[in-house]
C-alpha cells in the first residue's frame, strides 16, 4: 500500500518536472496572442491536465474527438493546441480559419524536423492561423522556435508556405516578427487560379469577351459588370493571382427554394468570387459574403413629360370653370340690361329709321354683348344715357376680361409647364404607357415588392389584360425610342439610358424628360462564396484599391453623365402645336358649315314658296 503510493508520487513529480517549461510556453503563447480558452488534443496524460488547470482549457481525449469536436469547437472561439500525434484528424474537416488559433507542438522525440508531409495534407487556406513549435535541443532546450504555416489554398492546389515567426523562451517570452497585417504579408498568391464569375448580357458578336470587358466602347451596356471587372483586375494585380473568368447566366435569385445564376454556382463550390457586383438582399446574406461596395446601380422610370393634362383645352385653360360661368352670367345680364334700356328708349324717344337696334332689339343687343366680349365694336349705340352707361361698362368689363385672358395665354406659352407626374401613383393614374427594361433585377423587383403603389402600377400598366397581350419588356434601345416618340414611360438603368439619350435625343426632348425612381439606388458589392477564406483578403484589397482613388478614376471612365437641359431652354417660347390650336379651327369650320346649311335651307324655303305662288 505505502509502496505503491510512493511510486505514484514519484511518477507525478517526474512528469511535472519534465513538462513545466512546456506548460509555461503554452500558457504564455496563448496569453500573448490574447486567447483565453484552450482546447487541447492529445492522449490523456497529466501534462494536459496541468494545462487545463492553468488556463480555462478543455481537455479532449483522442477517442472523444470524433464525436464531440465539431460541437465543442463551434461554440467558442478557441485557441487550439495540437499534438503531432493526432495526425488522424486530417481526414476530418477541421476549421482552419481565423476563428481558431492552432498551435502544433512537435513531440520532443521528432527533433527539429518540420513535419512537411503532414502539413502538406492539411486543408489550409490563406486565413489559417497555424503555428508549429519546435523545441530546441541541448543548450537551447528551453527555447521554442515558431513557424507560421499557411497555404494560399489547399483546395486550389496552392503550395505550403512556412515562414519563420520567431521564438519563445522563458526569459523573454514570445518574440514575434510577423506583426504585419496578415493579408498584406500573405498578399502574394503566386499566380494561383481563382474562379470568378461574371454576367454579361449584351456581348456583341464582333468582339471577344475580354476585349468587351476591358475596353470602354459602348460603355452603356453592362456598365455595372464591366466597371466591377476593372476593379477585380486591380485586385488581381494587387494579389498576384490568376483570374479564371467564368460566365454566369444571372446574378442569382431565390426561385422555388434554390438559387440560380452565380449564387447557385457559389453554393456548388465552382465559383469563388463574383466579378459581377451584387445588390444587398436578405436571402443572399445567408449564402454569400459581401465585401466592399463600389458601384451604385441607379435605375428610374424615364419619360417625356406630357405638356398638359389630357382632355384639357388650352383655350379654356387661362380661366377656371367658375370664372367662365360668371363670364357667361354677366354677359347674359348685360344683354338683358341693354335690352331693357332699348325698350325704355323706344318708349320715350320712339323709333328712328335704319336703326337695327330698334327694329330687332333682341338679336342686336346680343350681338353688342358678344362683340364687347370679343373686343369688337358695333355702329349702333343706345341713345339714352342709361343705355350708354350699360354699354360703356360692358366694354370696360370686357377689356379687363380680355386683358387677363390673353396675358395668361402668352404667359402659359412662355413659362415652363408644371410637372404633374411626380410619383409612381401619378404615373399609374396618367395615360402614359409603361415599359420595363428586360433585366432580371426588374423582374425580381416586381416579383418581390410589397409597395402598394408599385403593385398598382404593375397591375394597371404592365400585367396582361384584354388590351395587353404581351408583357411590355423591351431592350433599352427599343424602350427609349418609344420614350422619344412620347407618351411612354420606361424603367431603365440610368447608366445605359443616359448614353442613349445623349446620342439620340434632341434638346427639346431632353428638356421634357422626367425621372421617377421605382426603387432607391442600389448599393452593389463584390461577393465571395459563404465562409470563403478569401473574404477578408478581398475586402482589404478592394478597400485599398478604392481608397487609393481607383474607383473614382473608373467612375470617370464608365459613368455617363446625365444629359442636361440648358438653362436657356426655358426662355425660348414653346410654339403652339396643332393639337392645342384645333378647337379654333373646328369652331370656324363648324360655323362655315352651319351658315352654308342655313343658306341652302333658306333658299330652298324661298323656292318652295315661289313655286306655291
Residues near ligand NAG (CB under 6 A) = 74, 95, 97-99, 155-156, 161, 163, 185-186, 188, 190-191, 195, 240, 244, 246, 255-256, 269-270, 438, 473, 531
Please state, in angstroms and rounded to a whole number, the distance separating the CA atoms of residues 386 and 371.
19
Q: How far is the CB of 257 from ligand NAG (least distance, A)?
A: 9
409 neighbors 447 (Cβ within 8 angstroms): no
Calculate ∠ Cα 85-107-175, nearest 5°. Answer: 120
Q: Which lies closer to ligand NAG via its Cβ, residue 270 or residue 287?
A: 270
| Angle in degrees, 0-180, between the axes of helices 321-348 and 361-373, rounded to the nearest 10 | 140
Q: How far is the CB of 190 from ligand NAG (least distance, A)?
A: 4
Q: Which lies closer to ligand NAG via its Cβ, residue 275 or residue 342?
A: 275
Q: Which lies closer to ligand NAG via its Cβ, residue 78 or residue 302?
A: 78
Q: How far is the CB of 431 from ligand NAG (least distance, A)?
A: 23
The total number of residues shown for the chain amounts to 613
Distances (CA, A) of 4 to 11, 13, 16, 46, 252: 11, 14, 19, 18, 71
Please state, in angstroms and rounded to a whole number, the distance separating the CA atoms of residues 480 and 499.
11
Distances (CA, A) of 574 to 11, 141, 251, 413, 577: 106, 95, 46, 6, 9
Q: Which lies closer to ligand NAG via its Cβ, residue 216 or residue 269?
A: 269
What torsion, rounded to 10 degrees, do the Cα atoms 166, 168, 173, 177 define?
0
Q: Which lies closer to ligand NAG via its Cβ, residue 144 or residue 259?
A: 259
DSSP code of residue 178: -
Q: How far is the CB of 535 from ligand NAG (least distance, A)?
A: 7
Q: Return the HEC string of 22-40.
A: HHHHHHHHHHHCCCCEEEE
49 neighbors 29 (Cβ within 8 angstroms): no
Q: Which lies closer to ligand NAG via its Cβ, residue 528 or residue 551?
A: 528
Please state, in angstroms and rounded to a whole number, the distance separating the CA atoms of residues 146 and 219.
52
271 neighbors 529 (Cβ within 8 angstroms): yes
303 neighbors 513 (Cβ within 8 angstroms): yes
Residue nearest to ligand NAG (CB): 191
Q: Which lies closer to ligand NAG via its Cβ, residue 155 or residue 460?
A: 155
Q: How far is the CB of 574 from ligand NAG (least distance, A)?
A: 36
Distances (CA, A) of 227 to 284, 401, 500, 555, 559: 22, 61, 18, 8, 9
Distances (CA, A) of 381 to 358, 446, 550: 10, 71, 85
DSSP code of residue 264: H
Interstrand relation of 101-105 and 79-83 (parallel, antiparallel or unpaired) = parallel
Q: Which residues contact 503 (CB under 8 A, 6 or more apart)?
A: none
Q: Which lies closer to ligand NAG via its Cβ, residue 248 or residue 387?
A: 248
Q: How far is the CB of 165 from ligand NAG (least distance, A)?
A: 9
| DSSP3 helix / strand / coil % (the chain, rounded to 5) | 50, 20, 30
Q: Does residue 114 sit in helix, strand or coil?
A: coil
Q: How far is the CB of 525 from ligand NAG (least distance, A)?
A: 17
Q: Does residue 350 sit in helix, strand or coil?
A: coil
Q: How far is the CB of 557 from ligand NAG (least distance, A)?
A: 25
284 neighbors 444 (Cβ within 8 angstroms): no
Q: How far is the CB of 433 from ligand NAG (least distance, A)?
A: 15
Q: How far is the CB of 111 from ligand NAG (least distance, A)?
A: 24
Please state, in angstroms and rounded to a whole number, the distance separating the CA atoms of residues 347 and 339.
12
Q: How far is the CB of 519 from ligand NAG (least distance, A)?
A: 19
* CA-based nearest residue to 191, from 153, 241, 139: 241
Q: Which lies closer to ligand NAG via its Cβ, residue 499 or residue 536?
A: 536
Q: Which lies closer to ligand NAG via its Cβ, residue 93 or residue 307?
A: 93
Q: Which lies closer to ligand NAG via its Cβ, residue 66 or residue 155?
A: 155
Q: Return the HEC string of 593-604.
A: HHHHHHHHHHHH
Q: How far is the CB of 232 from ligand NAG (least distance, A)?
A: 15
Q: Which lies closer to ligand NAG via its Cβ, residue 157 or residue 170?
A: 157
Q: How far is the CB of 161 from ligand NAG (least distance, A)?
A: 4
Name 147's bridge partners: 132, 164
Q: Which lies closer to ligand NAG via its Cβ, residue 317 or residue 444?
A: 444
Distances (CA, A) of 200 to 132, 229, 262, 277, 581: 46, 11, 12, 12, 49
Q: How far is the CB of 1 from ligand NAG (least distance, A)?
A: 51
DSSP code of residue 417: P
Q: Which lies closer to ligand NAG via its Cβ, residue 176 or residue 453?
A: 176
Q: How far is the CB of 578 from ligand NAG (least distance, A)?
A: 35
Q: Which lies closer to ligand NAG via its Cβ, residue 68 or residue 99?
A: 99
Amino acid at each position: 500500500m505505502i509502496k505503491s503510493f510512493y511510486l505514484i508520487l514519484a511518477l507525478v513529480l517526474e512528469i511535472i518536472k519534465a513538462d513545466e517549461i512546456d506548460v509555461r510556453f503554452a500558457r504564455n503563447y496563448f496569453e500573448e496572442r490574447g486567447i483565453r480558452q484552450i482546447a487541447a488534443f492529445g492522449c490523456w496524460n497529466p501534462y494536459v491536465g496541468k494545462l487545463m488547470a492553468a488556463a480555462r482549457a478543455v481537455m479532449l481525449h483522442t477517442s472523444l474527438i470524433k464525436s464531440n469536436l465539431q460541437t465543442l469547437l463551434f461554440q467558442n472561439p478557441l485557441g487550439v493546441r495540437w499534438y503531432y500525434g493526432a495526425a488522424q484528424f486530417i481526414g476530418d474537416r477541421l476549421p482552419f480559419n481565423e476563428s481558431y488559433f492552432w498551435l502544433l507542438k512537435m513531440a520532443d522525440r521528432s527533433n527539429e524536423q518540420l513535419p512537411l508531409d503532414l502539413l502538406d495534407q492539411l486543408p489550409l487556406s490563406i486565413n489559417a492561423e497555424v503555428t508549429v513549435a519546435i523545441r530546441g535541443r541541448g543548450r537551447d532546450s528551453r527555447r521554442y522556435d515558431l513557424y507560421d504555416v499557411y497555404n494560399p489554398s489547399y483546395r486550389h492546389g496552392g503550395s505550403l508556405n512556412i515562414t519563420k515567426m520567431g521564438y519563445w523562451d522563458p526569459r523573454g517570452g514570445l518574440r514575434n516578427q510577423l506583426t504585419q497585417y496578415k493579408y498584406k504579408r500573405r498578399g502574394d498568391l503566386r499566380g494561383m487560379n481563382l474562379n470568378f464569375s461574371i454576367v454579361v448580357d449584351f456581348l456583341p458578336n464582333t468582339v471577344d469577351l475580354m476585349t468587351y470587358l476591358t475596353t470602354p466602347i459602348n460603355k452603356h451596356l453592362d456598365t455595372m459588370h464591366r466597371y466591377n471587372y476593372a476593379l477585380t483586375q486591380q485586385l488581381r494585380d494587387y494579389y498576384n493571382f490568376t483570374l479564371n473568368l467564368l460566365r454566369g447566366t444571372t446574378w442569382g435569385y431565390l426561385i422555388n427554394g434554390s438559387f440560380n445564376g452565380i449564387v447557385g454556382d457559389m453554393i456548388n463550390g465552382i465559383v469563388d468570387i463574383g466579378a459581377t457586383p451584387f445588390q444587398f438582399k436578405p436571402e443572399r446574406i445567408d449564402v454569400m459574403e459581401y465585401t466592399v461596395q463600389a458601384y451604385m446601380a441607379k435605375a428610374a422610370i424615364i419619360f417625356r413629360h406630357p405638356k398638359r393634362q389630357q382632355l384639357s383645352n388650352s383655350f379654356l385653360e387661362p380661366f377656371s370653370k367658375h370664372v367662365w360661368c360668371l363670364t357667361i352670367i354677366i354677359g347674359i345680364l348685360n344683354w338683358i340690361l341693354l335690352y331693357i334700356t332699348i325698350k325704355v328708349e323706344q318708349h320715350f324717344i320712339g323709333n328712328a329709321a335704319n336703326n337695327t337696334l330698334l327694329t330687332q332689339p333682341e338679336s342686336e343687343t346680343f350681338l353688342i354683348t358678344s362683340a364687347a366680349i370679343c373686343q369688337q365694336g358695333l355702329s349702333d349705340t343706345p341713345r339714352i344715357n342709361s343705355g350708354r352707361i350699360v354699354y360703356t361698362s360692358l366694354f370696360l368689363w370686357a377689356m379687363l376680361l380680355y386683358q387677363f385672358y390673353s396675358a395668361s395665354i402668352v404667359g402659359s406659352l412662355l413659362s415652363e409647364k408644371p410637372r404633374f407626374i411626380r410619383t409612381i401613383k401619378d404615373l399609374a393614374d396618367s395615360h402614359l404607357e409603361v415599359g420595363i427594361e428586360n433585366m432580371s433585377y426588374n423582374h425580381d423587383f416586381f416579383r418581390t415588392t410589397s409597395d402598394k403603389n408599385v403593385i398598382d402600377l404593375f397591375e394597371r400598366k404592365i400585367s396582361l389584360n384584354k388590351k395587353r397581350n404581351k408583357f411590355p419588356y423591351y431592350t433599352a434601345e427599343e424602350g427609349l425610342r418609344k420614350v422619344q416618340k412620347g407618351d411612354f414611360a420606361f424603367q431603365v438603368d440610368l447608366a445605359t439610358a443616359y448614353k442613349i439619350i445623349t446620342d439620340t435625343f434632341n434638346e427639346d426632348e431632353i428638356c421634357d424628360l422626367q425621372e421617377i425612381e421605382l426603387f432607391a439606388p442600389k448599393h452593389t458589392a463584390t461577393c465571395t462564396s459563404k465562409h470563403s477564406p478569401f473574404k477578408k483578403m478581398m475586402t482589404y484589397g478592394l478597400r485599398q484599391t478604392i481608397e487609393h482613388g481607383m474607383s473614382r478614376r473608373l467612375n470617370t471612365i464608365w459613368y455617363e453623365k446625365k444629359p442636361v437641359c440648358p438653362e436657356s431652354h426655358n426662355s425660348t417660347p414653346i410654339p403652339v402645336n396643332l393639337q392645342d390650336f384645333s378647337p379654333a379651327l373646328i369652331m370656324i369650320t363648324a360655323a362655315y358649315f352651319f351658315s352654308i346649311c342655313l343658306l341652302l335651307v333658306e333658299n330652298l324655303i324661298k323656292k318652295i314658296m315661289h313655286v306655291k305662288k
